[in-house]
Amino acid sequence: MKKIFVFTMLFITATATFSQQIYSSPTLTKQDYLKKSRHQRSAAALLISTGLLCAGLGTLAVAINPDSDGHDSGGVFFMVTGFAVIGSSIPLFIASSKNKKKAASLSINIEPVSHICKSSLVFSKIPSLTVKINL
């Protein structure tokens, strides 16, 4: 009896963990892509301005206080950190432009459709998702 119970519980667990999801995630709309792009662009601008500030202060610290012994590494640390932060803003700019392009290619329109209803041709309008492909 114990073996049957353990096997049944193992089978239920395996079925539940490897099955498909019933509820799919909602698709993103044009406004969602534009909002996401705007947030990424503002975060990238913040990162690049912070990186330029750090790199500038580090360069200024190294230029003002040239230490021949090499004990003053604060300015060099700020320069390297600033350039790393500037480099980390580049992927956000790229992702922002990709989301903006996705938003430009997706739109929801009301399309006219003709169909036959009770032996007559009827025109109606249905909402449709339009994808624009730039060639």
Per-residue confidence band for 46, with pLDDT thresholds at 50, 70 and 90: very high
Counting residues of the chain whose pLDDT is more than 70, the rounded percentage is 81
Q: How far is CA 23 from CA 19, 20, 57, in A?
A: 12, 9, 52
The per-residue pLDDT for range 69-104, each reduced to its tens digit, is 656 678 888 899 999 999 999 999 999 999 888 887
Q: Give 1: exposed, middle or buried? Use CB within 10 Å, 0-12, 13-18, 19+.
A: exposed
Give domain limits for the chain.
27-106
- Range name among 14-28, 75-89, 112-126 with the lowest pLDDT average: 14-28
**For the stretch 11-37, what's the b/e string if a residue is b when 16 or more beta carbons lie within 10 angstroms of its beta carbon?**
eeeeeeeeeeeeeeeeeeeeeebeebb
User: What band does 111 get if pLDDT is binned at 50, 70 and 90?
Assistant: confident
Instruction: Please report which confidence band the pLDDT of residue 18 belongs to, taking 50, 70 and 90 as the band edges.
Output: low
Interacting residues of 89 by C-beta distance below 8 A, sequence separation 6+: 44, 45, 47, 48, 51
